[in-house]
C-alpha cells in the first residue's frame, strides 16, 4: 500500500504540530463529554464573575433599576464570532435570571445578524420563567448601530439615562470597553465585564466588580447551558492548559541545553 | 416552524462549515480543488453580506420603532434626540433611494459626504477623545496604593508611563530600558497564558458547536 508523503496531506503553512494539538484537544473534550453522558461527574472550577451575575440581577431588582447587557458591535462574520457566541450564551443565563427575579432587562448591541437571536433569547428568558408579561421587545432588545463610537455613545446613554443597576458587558470590545465600564461606574452599577481581546481585559479587570478573563467567557457559555456533558467539555480545555504548562516547562529545561522547543513546535 | 427548520438545519450548517473550514486550513489541497473551493467560499461570503445587509434593514426598523415609541411616550428630555435619530435615518434612506435611481454610489454623493465629514467624523472623534478622561479617572481610582499589590501596580504604572515619554527619559535615561523590560518580560509572561487560554477556549467552543452541544446562541428552547 502506497502512502502519500506528509507534505502532500498537511498544508505546510498550517503546521503538523498545531493540527496534532487541535486533534488531541478535540478528542480530550469529546472524551470528557462522553464520560459525563455516562453519568461521570467532574469538579468544574468556579468562575466568580459567572456566580456574581445572579447577585447583580437580584440587586438591581431590589433597587428597582434595570439590568443592562451588551455583546458589543460589529459583524458576526469576523474572527470574533466565538466571542459573540459566548456573549449570547451568557445572555441566556442573564435573561432567565431576569425572568426569575422579575428584572427589567435591556440588551443593547450593534450586531445586525444577532437581532433575531437576541430577541429570542430574551423572550425565552421571560417565558421560561413564567413572566411573559415582562417581555417587551421594543424595550428589552435594542439594536443601536454597527458604527463603533455611535454604538458606544448610545450604549452609554442607555446605561446613564435608564440608571442601570447592573451593567454586564461580554463580547469582543475595542476602545469602547472603557466608555461602557465608566458609564456603569457613573451610575453606581454592579459591573461584570468580559472579553477575550487581550488588550481590553485590563480595563474590565480594573473598572468592573467582577471580570471574565479571556477564555472564561467561553467556559461561561457552557455553564449557562446547565447541561452536564457541555460543562464537562471545560475539562478538555483544562487538559489543553496542562499540556501548555508541560510544553513551557519542557522548553525552559531544554533551552539551556541548546534545544529550542519552539522551533520544533512550528513543524 | 418545525424544530428541524429552526434548530437542526442551522446547527448542521454551522457544524459542516466548521469542519470544512478547519479541513481547508490544515489539509493540502491541489490547485484545481482550491479554485473550486474558493468559488464556493466567495459565494458563501456574498450570501453572508446579503444577509448582513438585510439584517441591517431590520436593525434600522428596530431603531426607528424604539425612538417612535419614546416620542409617543412624550418623554420631554428624550424627544429631541429621538427626532434627530429618526430624521437622519430617513435622510440616509433617501440617499440610498437616490443612489438606486441615479446610479451614483451613496459614498460619492456630495450631500452624503458632507453629512459624513461634518457630523459623523467629528462626533466619533469627540467620543474617542472623551476616552482620555475615562482612562485618567480609571487610572486614578486604580492607582491608589491601598494595599501592597495596588502599590506595586502604581509603581509599575508610573515606570511604564515615564518610560513612554521624553520627560521620563530627561529625568532618568534608565526609565526607557526598564519599561521595555517590564513590557517584554513580566507583561508578556502575563499576557501569553491569556492568549493561549483564548485559543484553547475557542477550540472547545468549536467542538461544542460541531457536536451541536452549544445551542444557547439560537435562542428559544423547545
Instruction: Give the pLDDT score at A157.
Output: 94
Residue A7: list chain B partners with CB under 8 A. Answer: 28
Instruction: Give the pLDDT score at B144.
Output: 85
Q: Is there a contact between B88 and B118 (Cβ–Cβ < 8 Å)?
A: no
- Across the interface, whether the CB atoms of A233 and B213 are under 8 A apart is answered yes
Instruction: Give the pLDDT score at B1.
Output: 63
User: Any idea which residue has 433569547 for its cell?
Assistant: A121
Whether the CB of A124 is below 8 Å from some CB of chain B: the reply is yes
Instruction: Give the pLDDT score at B32.
Output: 86
Q: Which H or E run includes B146?
A: none
Instruction: Give the pLDDT score at B78.
Output: 87
Q: Which one-letter DSSP state was computed for residue B120?
A: I
- Across the interface, whether the CB atoms of A7 and B28 are under 8 A apart is answered yes
Residue A65 falls in which region: left (phi positive, over 0), alpha (psi -120 to 50) or beta: beta
Q: Provide the shortest C-alpha distance from residue A104 to chain B (in Å).
A: 16
User: Any idea which residue has 472623551 for its cell?
Assistant: B130
Whether the CB of A30 is below 8 Å from some CB of chain B: the reply is yes
**Overall pTM surpassing 0.95 (yes/no):** no
Q: Provide the shortest C-alpha distance from residue A149 to chain B (in Å).
A: 5
Instruction: Give the pLDDT score at A8.
Output: 67
Whether the CB of A152 is below 8 Å from some CB of chain B: the reply is yes
Residue B207: list chain A partners with CB under 8 A. Answer: 25-26, 29-30, 233, 236
Q: Which H or E run includes A183?
A: helix A176-186
B86 or A41, which is more confident: B86
**Average pLDDT value for residue range B83-99:** 93
A2 or A224, which is more confident: A224
Residue A215 grid coordinates: 477564555
Q: Which residues 54-73 of A are in CB contact (within 8 Å) with B?
A: none
Q: What is the mean pLDDT of chain B?
A: 90
Asked if residue B222 has pLDDT above 60, the reply is: no
Q: Across the strands, what pairs with A67? A: A105, A166
Q: Among A253, A263, A262, A247, which residue's Cα sits nearest to residue A24?
A: A247
Q: Among A42, A116, A233, which residue's Cα sits nearest to residue B212?
A: A233
Please compute, for residue A94, the number of CA atoms within 13 A of its CA located in the half-sphere on the CB side: 34
Q: Provide the shortest C-alpha distance from residue A199 to chain B (in Å).
A: 9
- Across the interface, whether the CB atoms of A30 and B22 are under 8 A apart is answered no
This complex has an ipTM of: 0.92
Say which residues have a Cβ less than 8 Å from residue B157's Cβ, sequence separation at least 6: B139, B143
pLDDT tens for A226-248 read: 888 888 999 999 999 999 999 99
Encode burial over A244-263: b for 16+ CB neighbours within 10 A, e otherwise. beeeeeeeeeeeeeeeeeee
pLDDT tens for B20-66 read: 888 888 888 888 888 888 888 889 889 988 998 899 999 999 999 99
Residue A258 grid coordinates: 541548546
Helix A216-225 / helix A81-101 crossing angle, nearest 10 deg:
40
B222 or A155, which is more confident: A155
Whether the CB of A11 is below 8 Å from some CB of chain B: the reply is yes
Residue B170 grid coordinates: 530627561
Residue B51: list chain A partners with CB under 8 A. Answer: 113
Instruction: Give the pLDDT score at A86.
Output: 93
Q: Distance between CA atoms of A41 and A80, rounded to whole angstroms?
A: 32
Instruction: Give the pLDDT score at A4.
Output: 62
**Average pLDDT value for residue range B162-167:** 94
DSSP for B9-49 reads: HHHHHHHHHHHHHHHHHHB---HHHHHHHHHHHHHHHHHHH
CA dihedral over A187, A191, A196, A197, signed as positive or negative: positive
What 3 state SS string does chain A have?
CCCCCHHHCECCCCCHHHHHHHHHHHHHHHHHHHHHHCCCCCCCCCCHHHHHHHHHHHHHHHHCCCEEEEEEECCCCCCCHHHHHHHHHHHHHHHHHHHHHCCCEEEEEECHHHHHHHHHHHHHHHHHCCCHHHCCHHHHEEECCCCHHHHHHHHHHHHHHCCCCEEEEECCCCCHHHHHHHHHHHCCCEEEEEECCCCCHHHHHHHCCEEEECCHHHHHHHHHHCCHHHHHHHHHHHHHHHHHHHHHHHHHHHHHHCCCHHHHHCC
Nearest CA in chain A to B66: A138
Express as a percent the part of chain B with pLDDT over 70: 98
Nearest CA in chain B to A138: B66
Residue B90 grid coordinates: 430617513
Q: What is the mean pLDDT of chain A?
A: 92
**Average pLDDT value for residue range B166-194:** 94
Amino acid at each position: 500500500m502506497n502512502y502519500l508523503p506528509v507534505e502532500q496531506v498537511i498544508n505546510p503553512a498550517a503546521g503538523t504540530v498545531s493540527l496534532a494539538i487541535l486533534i488531541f484537544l478535540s478528542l480530550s473534550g469529546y472524551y470528557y463529554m462522553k464520560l459525563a453522558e455516562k453519568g461521570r461527574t467532574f469538579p468544574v472550577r468556579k468562575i466568580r464573575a459567572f456566580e456574581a451575575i445572579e447577585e447583580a440581577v437580584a440587586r438591581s431588582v431590589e433597587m428597582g433599576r434595570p439590568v443592562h447587557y451588551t455583546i458589543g458591535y460589529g459583524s458576526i462574520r469576523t474572527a470574533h464570532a466565538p466571542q459573540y457566541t459566548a456573549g449570547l450564551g451568557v445572555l441566556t443565563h442573564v435573561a432567565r435570571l431576569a425572568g426569575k427575579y422579575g428584572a427589567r432587562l435591556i440588551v443593547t448591541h450593534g450586531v445586525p445578524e444577532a437581532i433575531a437571536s437576541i430577541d429570542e433569547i430574551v423572550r425565552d428568558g421571560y417565558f421560561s420563567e413564567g413572566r411573559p408579561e415582562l417581555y417587551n421587545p421594543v424595550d428589552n432588545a435594542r439594536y443601536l448601530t454597527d458604527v463603533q463610537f455611535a454604538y458606544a455613545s448610545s450604549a452609554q446613554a442607555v446605561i446613564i439615562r435608564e440608571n442601570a443597576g447592573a451593567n454586564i458587558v461580554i463580547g469582543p470590545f475595542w476602545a469602547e470597553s472603557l466608555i461602557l465600564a465608566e458609564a456603569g461606574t457613573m451610575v453606581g452599577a454592579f459591573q461584570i465585564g468580559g472579553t477575550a481581546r487581550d488588550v481590553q481585559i485590563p480595563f474590565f479587570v480594573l473598572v468592573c466588580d467582577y471580570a471574565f478573563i479571556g477564555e472564561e467567557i467561553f467556559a461561561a457559555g457552557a455553564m449557562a447551558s446547565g447541561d452536564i456533558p457541555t460543562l464537562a467539555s471545560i475539562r478538555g480545555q483544562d487538559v489543553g492548559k496542562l499540556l501548555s504548562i508541560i510544553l513551557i516547562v519542557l522548553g525552559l529545561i531544554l533551552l539551556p541545553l541548546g534545544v529550542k522547543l519552539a522551533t520544533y513546535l512550528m513543524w | 416552524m418545525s424544530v428541524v427548520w429552526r434548530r437542526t438545519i442551522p446547527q448542521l450548517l454551522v457544524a459542516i462549515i466548521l469542519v470544512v473550514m478547519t479541513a481547508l486550513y490544515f489539509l493540502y489541497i491541489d490547485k484545481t480543488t482550491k479554485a473550486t473551493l474558493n468559488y464556493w467560499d466567495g459565494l458563501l461570503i456574498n450570501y453572508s453580506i446579503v444577509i448582513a445587509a438585510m439584517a441591517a434593514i431590520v436593525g434600522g426598523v428596530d431603531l426607528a420603532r424604539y425612538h417612535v415609541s419614546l416620542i409617543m411616550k412624550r418623554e420631554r428630555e428624550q424627544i429631541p434626540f429621538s427626532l434627530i435619530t429618526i430624521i437622519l435615518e430617513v435622510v440616509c434612506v433617501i440617499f440610498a433611494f437616490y443612489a438606486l435611481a441615479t446610479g451614483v454610489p451613496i459614498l460619492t454623493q456630495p450631500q452624503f459626504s458632507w453629512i459624513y465629514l461634518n457630523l459623523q467624523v467629528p462626533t466619533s472623534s469627540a467620543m474617542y477623545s472623551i476616552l482620555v478622561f475615562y482612562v485618567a479617572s480609571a487610572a486614578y481610582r486604580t492607582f491608589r496604593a491601598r494595599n501592597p499589590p495596588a502599590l506595586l501596580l502604581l509603581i509599575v504604572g508610573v515606570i511604564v508611563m515615564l518610560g513612554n515619554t521624553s520627560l521620563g527619559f530627561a529625568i532618568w535615561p534608565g526609565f526607557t530600558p526598564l519599561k521595555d523590560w517590564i513590557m517584554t518580560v513580566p507583561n508578556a509572561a502575563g499576557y501569553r497564558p491569556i492568549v493561549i487560554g483564548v485559543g484553547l477556549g475557542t477550540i472547545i467552543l468549536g467542538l461544542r458547536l460541531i457536536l451541536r452541544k452549544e445551542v444557547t446562541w439560537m435562542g428559544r428552547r423547545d
